[in-house]
């Protein structure tokens, strides 16, 4: 537990050994774990997560193909790491994360890290970030805050407690139904509130459906289809857990992940087939009826007209938004896409996933772009995860005030929430809440 004073001086790093192995992610598919040794003998690790409902423009994972693991092996990526990335990283001293990430991009030489694999690149970049924090004698979140110039902040967790879409086998068209304890006074209270609502929800689901089966992110995946049924269950669980459903106490957040129910040409299927305008109206009625604070990927990534229509419907005359409107697949953590979306009035918030863009310094740039444009940001896990807790330090150090890491259950999800409460213990007085 370091209490060192933040300093702006960046200590160079020297990695003497770097290697990778295949580990299993939370879906039981291979992913990369990178291990590095620093000049002082310190050993560091980092692991790559993997999405299922990925955006078209995301940085590209390198997968083996073939029949094993449905082609999802990472042996080719490991070989390229051994042959090319390791000699690069161990061959010299590095004085900034920008320098490391720039060299990785140059070595790769393609857009989206197609040659070396964004799964290898993101893990190496995270490991290098840990090395810089270690060299500076700072906790990772503090180093990130120092480096990005942001004020540290403990975020409001958005717990994905009901799963549908690409993350579950049920007929629910919307992917994620989250609860966000915005009214909690501390991270500890927020995490405990999320867990308590989750337990009540488990009993409600078991009682109603006779099953409490889970989706990929640890939320329940009962056999329901109508988003309103899911929202009613959430409200009931919040009330039964003794909290108030409301945007100032325990709020609801949705990630419909509309790519998953887009029929193309601006048409969608949510139960019935809906036009763009009908989908906007559908969201408006949900906002009228439920305490929803955040709506992510309400339209498909390639449906700019849909995003424009939704922006027009959700922006108030004073320029504020009726609900936080988040672009995930739409922006893929890419500063240029975020800027273009802001100019078109598509959203007022950005989802931040390091492996969508490939490196930590590009992730910092995405957060900086959002901040410059007056947009909010939410740091996010992927549906395929490991116990790596990098995003917990990332969200505190960038001070964006919001994270989603799945349900308050399952090791790979709670690793992040438990890291947040650990940071809170280490940093008494650090503020909890939205930015």
Binding residues for ligand PEP, rule: CB under 6 A, are: 51-54, 255, 257, 328, 380, 382-383
Judged by CB under 5 A, which stretch of 155-163, 255-263, 367-375, 387-395 contacts Mg ion?
A: 255-263
Closest CA to 116 of 156, 176, 152, 74: 74
Q: Determine the Cα–Cα distance for residues 276 and 274; give it in Å rounded to an integer.
A: 7
- Closest chain position to Mg ion (CB): 328
Considering 61, 196, 217, 301, which one is annotated as catalytic? 217
Shortest distance, position 228 Cβ to ligand PEP, whole Å: 21
The values of phi and psi at residue 135, to 5°, are -65, -35
Shortest distance, position 378 Cβ to ligand PEP, whole Å: 9
**Interface positions, 297-326, toward Mg ion (CB under 5 A):** 297
Judged by beta carbon distances under 5 to 8 A according to partner kind, the member of Mg ion, ligand PEP, none in contact with residue 51 is ligand PEP
Q: Give burial (CB, 10 Å; 0-12/13-18/19+) of 275.
A: middle
Confirm if 380 and 328 have CB atoms less than 8 A apart: yes
Judged by beta carbon distances under 5 to 8 A according to partner kind, the member of ligand PEP, Mg ion, none in contact with residue 355 is none
Q: Determine the Cα–Cα distance for residues 186 and 209; give it in Å rounded to an integer.
A: 34
Judged by beta carbon distances under 5 to 8 A according to partner kind, the member of Mg ion, ligand PEP, none in contact with residue 291 is none
Alpha carbon 220 to chain centroid, angstroms: 19
Binding mask 196-235 for Mg ion (x = CB under 5 A): ----------------------------------------
Choice between 101 and 329, CB closer to ligand PEP: 329
Choice between 51 and 183, CB closer to ligand PEP: 51
Helical ranges in 210-275 per DSSP H = 227-240
Choice between 33 and 328, CB closer to ligand PEP: 328
Choice between 53 and 362, CB closer to ligand PEP: 53
Considering 58, 187, 353, 412, which one is annotated as catalytic? 353
Choice between 255 and 412, CB closer to ligand PEP: 255
The set of residues, in sequence order, having a beta carbon less than 8 Å from that of 164 and lying 6+ positions away, is 170, 171, 172, 173, 174, 175, 176, 177, 215, 221, 230
Q: Is 255 in the site for Mg ion (CB under 5 A)?
A: yes
Shortest distance, position 68 Cβ to Mg ion, whole Å: 29
Q: Determine the Cα–Cα distance for residues 202 and 433; give it in Å rounded to an integer.
A: 27
Q: Does residue 84 have an active-site annotation?
A: no
Confirm if 329 and 301 have CB atoms less than 8 A apart: yes
- Closest chain position to ligand PEP (CB): 51
Q: Does residue 296 have an active-site annotation?
A: no
The set of residues, in sequence order, having a beta carbon less than 8 Å from that of 229 and lying 6+ positions away, is none
Choice between 138 and 398, CB closer to ligand PEP: 398
Shortest distance, position 362 Cβ to ligand PEP, whole Å: 17
Our CA dihedral for 123, 128, 130, 135, rounded to 10 degrees, sits at 170
Judged by beta carbon distances under 5 to 8 A according to partner kind, the member of ligand PEP, Mg ion, none in contact with residue 52 is ligand PEP
* Partners of 303 in beta bridges: none
Confirm if 85 and 34 have CB atoms less than 8 A apart: no
Cα Rg of the chain (Å, integer): 21
Choice between 52 and 235, CB closer to ligand PEP: 52
Closest CA to 142 of 133, 131, 154: 133
Q: Determine the Cα–Cα distance for residues 168 and 385; give it in Å rounded to an integer.
A: 16
Judged by beta carbon distances under 5 to 8 A according to partner kind, the member of ligand PEP, Mg ion, none in contact with residue 419 is none
Q: Is 328 in the site for Mg ion (CB under 5 A)?
A: yes
Would you please indicate which residues are annotated as catalytic (active-site) residues?
217, 353
Name the residues that contact Mg ion, by CB under 5 A.
255, 297, 328
């Amino acid at each position: 537990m370091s209490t060192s004073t933040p300093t702006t001086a960046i200590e160079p790093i020297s990695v003497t050994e770097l290697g990778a192995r295949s580990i299993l992610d939370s879906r039981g598919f291979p992913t990369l774990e990178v291990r590095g040794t620093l000049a002082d003998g310190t050993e560091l690790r980092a692991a790559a997560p993997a999405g299922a409902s990925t955006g078209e423009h995301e940085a590209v994972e390198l997968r083996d193909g073939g029949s094993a693991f449905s082609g999802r092996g990472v042996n080719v990526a490991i070989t390229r790491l051994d042959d090319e990335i390791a000699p690069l990283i161990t061959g010299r001293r590095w004085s900034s994360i920008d320098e490391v990430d720039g060299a990785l991009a140059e070595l790769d030489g393609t857009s989206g890290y197609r040659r070396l694999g964004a799964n290898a690149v993101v893990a190496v970049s995270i490991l290098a970030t840990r090395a810089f924090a270690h060299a500076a004698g700072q906790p990772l979140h503090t180093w990130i805050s120092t480096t990005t110039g942001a004020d540290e902040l403990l975020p409001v967790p958005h717990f994905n407690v009901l799963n549908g879409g690409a993350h579950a086998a049920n007929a629910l068209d919307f992917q994620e139904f989250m609860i966000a304890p915005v009214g909690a006074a501390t991270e500890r209270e927020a995490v405990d509130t999320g867990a308590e609502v989750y337990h009540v929800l488990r009993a409600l689901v078991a009682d109603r459906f006779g099953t409490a089966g889970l989706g990929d992110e640890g939320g329940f995946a009962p056999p329901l289809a109508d988003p309103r049924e899911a929202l009613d269950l959430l409200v009931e669980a919040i009330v039964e857990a003794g909290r108030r459903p409301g945007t100032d106490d325990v709020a609801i957040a949705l990630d419909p992940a509309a790519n998953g129910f887009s029929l193309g040409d601006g048409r969608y299927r949510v139960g019935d087939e809906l036009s763009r305008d009908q989908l906007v109206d559908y969201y408006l009625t949900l906002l009228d009826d439920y305490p929803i604070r955040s709506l992510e990927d309400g339209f498909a990534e390639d449906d700019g007209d849909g995003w424009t229509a939704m922006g027009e419907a959700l922006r108030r005359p004073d320029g504020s938004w009726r609900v936080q409107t988040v672009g995930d697949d739409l922006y893929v953590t890419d500063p240029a896409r975020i800027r273009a979306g802001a100019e078109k009035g598509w959203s007022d918030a950005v989802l931040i996933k390091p492996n969508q863009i490939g490196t930590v310094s590009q992730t910092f740039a995405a957060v900086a772009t959002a901040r410059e444009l007056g947009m909010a940001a939410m740091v996010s896990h992927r549906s395929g995860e490991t116990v790596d807790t990098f995003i917990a330090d990332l969200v505190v150090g960038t001070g964006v005030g919001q994270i989603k890491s799945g349900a308050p259950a399952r090791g790979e999800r709670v690793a992040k929430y438990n890291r947040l409460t650990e940071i809170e213990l280490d940093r008494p007085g650090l503020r909890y809440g939205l930015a």
